[in-house]
Amino acid sequence: MEGAAEPGNLAGVRHIILVLSGKGGVGKSTVSTELALALRHAGKKVGILDVDLCGPSIPRMLGAQGRAVHQCDRGWAPVFLDREQSISLMSVGFLLEKPDEAVVWRGPKKNALIKQFVSDVAWGELDYLVVDTPPGTSDEHMAAIEALRPYQPLGALVVTTPQAVSVGDVRRELTFCRKTGLRVMGVVENMSGFTCPHCAECTSVFSRGGGEELAQLAGVPFLGSVPLDPALMRSLEEGHDFIQEFPGSPAFAALTSIAQKILDATPACLP
């Protein structure tokens, strides 16, 4: 095995995108999952790194619960979700003996695992690595950014919901991005209204307008609003590919448009 000259496990990863929010429950994991699926449907090879150690949601959203992680000669092999190996995933969820086991760790131990996730997972060649994070501006975020900094992440997608309570936390996340030198690719507003399946009346369940106002206030692009969509919810619950199965559903247009904006914002790479 080569020593210091061996390139790191991220050397084959062309673009890294972090998905952040100051607020919990706004849809970071949903956006990470759907973005990854949409990019894969656009012909890209995508990896997802789930650094939410206390609440790892991504395995379930992609129907990968219970999968095992194997060692290879360069470290851990990520879990591949398809035969073509076009989408792969690493999450602490795969390392738990029982799915309901709580990861009750303080900061230093979380930092150590996140560093390992960045340096010891053999991602191989990827067009995009999407990094899903827990809510907040603390250990996990600092550890992920420190470990990823040498690989120059493309930037951060910041997710909010429309109401003031979310926007209040997400403003702080934008400050975090500024202070850590992480470029904000844009703001996504999730849970933007619900269309009643009985009468088609659209209700702003979680208030309205906050995402777009926040993007304007912070001088960053507004990437789009994703409505509440029962078909999206079910796909996430059951681990199905929403992008493939529900092209006519309300959230599909918004999510694919956001993915297209990411593709458009990605600089071309030298071969």
Q: Please, what is the minimum distance in Å from the beta carbon of residue 76 to another protein?
A: 13
Residue 179 annotated as binding site: no
For another protein, the closer of residues 83 and 179 by Cβ is: 179
Residue 26 annotated as binding site: yes
Residue 44 annotated as binding site: no
CA distances from 77 to 18, 45, 117 (A): 21, 15, 11
Q: Please, what is the minimum distance in Å from the beta carbon of residue 155 to another protein?
A: 17
Residue 22 annotated as binding site: yes
Residue 24 annotated as binding site: yes
Q: Please, what is the minimum distance in Å from the beta carbon of residue 113 to another protein?
A: 8
For another protein, the closer of residues 87 and 145 by Cβ is: 145
Interface residue list for another protein (CB under 8 A): 22-26, 29, 54-55, 57, 60-61, 99-113, 116, 134-139, 141-142, 161-166, 168-169, 171-176, 179-180, 194, 196-199, 201, 203-207, 228, 230, 233-234, 236-238
Residue 25 annotated as binding site: yes
For another protein, the closer of residues 11 and 234 by Cβ is: 234
Q: What is the largest CA-CA distance in the chain?
A: 65
Q: Tell me whether residue 28 is exposed, middle or buried, using C-beta atoms within 10 angstroms of its C-beta: 0 to 12, 13 to 18, 19 or more.
A: buried
- Cβ(262)–Cβ(129) under 8 Å? no
In angstroms, rounded to a whole number, what is the distance separating the alpha carbons of residues 124 and 105? 29
For another protein, the closer of residues 182 and 262 by Cβ is: 182
In angstroms, rounded to a whole number, what is the distance separating the alpha carbons of residues 249 and 238? 17
Give residues with Cβ within 8 angstroms of 185, minimum separation 6.
17, 154, 155, 156, 157, 220, 221, 223, 262, 265
For another protein, the closer of residues 84 and 201 by Cβ is: 201
Q: Please, what is the minimum distance in Å from the beta carbon of residue 67 to another protein?
A: 15
Helices 28-41 and 250-265: crossing angle in degrees, nearest 10, is 70
Rg (CA), the chain: 18
Number of H helices, E strands in the chain: 9, 12
Q: Please, what is the minimum distance in Å from the beta carbon of residue 57 to another protein?
A: 6
Known binding residues for ATP are 22-29
Known binding residues are 22-29, 196, 199
